[in-house]
Amino acid sequence: MKPASRTLLAVALFVPLAVLLLATFACLPAPVGDPEKSQVDAALAGIYKAQPTDPADKSTALAILKPWDAKTYLLEYLMVETKDNKETHEIQHFKAWLTTIAGKTFLTAQPTDDFANLVGDTPDKLFWIVLRLDKVPTGLELRMVNPDSDFMKNLTKQDEIEAAIKAHVSDNALYGDVLTFKKLGKDDKAQIEEILGKFNTK
C-alpha cells in the first residue's frame, strides 16, 4: 500500500530492522478494538530490544512502550543500522492500545508521524498494524496479523477483521514469523543510554 512506500515503520511495537520498510510491512485497512474502551496493562510498559534471528544482523531496534493515559500507550520505535560503514537512525511514533480476542492479547498500533494535515496537505490513507502479544520470561513474543493470509484477504471492515482473528486465533497461517523482544532492565542502563544518545532522547 502507498503509505508503506513513503515511510519507515517502527511497528508495530516490534519488528526487526531488516524488515522494517513499510513496503514489506503488514498493515491492515482497519484497526482492531476501540482505544476508548481499552485499558493499559502496566506490566507491559517498558523498553524492549529486538532479538535478531540472524546472528550476523548487527542492527539494533528498541521499542519503548509507555502509558499515555489509562487507555492507550505511546509507542516509540528506534532503529539503528550500519551498512557500508554508514550508520543510519530512524524513529517512529505510534498510538497503541490492547484488545483481547479469543483469550489472546492483541496490540493495535496507529502511526502518528504523518503531519500532512497540519500543513494543509493531503494525509496518507490510514492504516494499522496488529500484533498478538504473548508474554515469555524474557519479554515478549509477537505475531503480526498478516493481511495476505488466506483468512484475511479482501477483508476491509473492522468487524470482519476481528471475526477472522477470533475464528483463527490459534492458526499459524494467520500470522507472520514469531518475533522476540527482550525486556530491558536496570542492568541494561548503559546499553539503553548509548542507543538513546544517538537520538538525543536521553
Domain ranges of the chain: 2-197
pLDDT of residue 171: 97
**pLDDT mean over 57-69:** 90
Lowest-pLDDT range of 41-45, 52-56, 164-168, 198-202:
198-202
pLDDT at 71 over 90: yes
pLDDT of residue 118: 53
**pLDDT mean over 83-110:** 92
Is the pLDDT higher at 87 or at 100?
A: 100
Please give, one letter per residue, the 3-state secondary structure of the chain: CHHHHHCECCCCCCCCHHHCEHHHCCCECCCCCCCCCCCCCHHHCEEEEECCCCCCCCCEEEEEEEECCCCCEEEEEEEEEEECCEEEEEEEEEEEEEEEECCEEEEEEEECCCCHHHHCCCCCCCCEEEEEEEEECCEEEEEEECCCCCCCCCCCCHHHHHHHHHHCCCCHHHEEEEEEEEECCHHHHHHHHHHHHCCCCC
102-141 pLDDT, tens digit per residue, is 999 999 999 887 654 555 555 566 789 999 999 999 999 9
Confidence grade of residue 66 (pLDDT, cut at 50, 70, 90): very high
**pLDDT mean over 137-162:** 94
pLDDT at 53 over 60: yes
